Amino acid sequence: MHTAHQLASDLLHEAAQFRPGSPDSEYRIRAAWKLDQMARGIPSCEWTEYPQPQQERAA
């Protein structure tokens, strides 16, 4: 069985095979980010669509 981290890694690898910004790439990147947040134990009500830039996290 795959862990959430493994599935996220697989999705990012798949996303790299598509043109950046394409629906196929965006879907996989967003799904990988959701899985990563789940694996880190972040409550789903606090999930973001995309990773936040470093300077926003520090604030």
Q: Is the pTM of this model over 0.85?
A: no
What pLDDT does residue 51 have? 79
Helix (H) or strand (E) holding 4: helix 4-15
pLDDT confidence of residue 4: 87
Tell me how crowded residue 16 is: count the other CB atoms within 10 A of its CB: 11
Q: Is the pLDDT of residue 52 over 80?
A: no
Share of the chain above pLDDT 90, in %: 69
Please count the structural domains in the chain. 1
Q: Containing domain of residue 19, as a range? A: 4-58
How confident is the model at residue 58, as a pLDDT?
Answer: 53
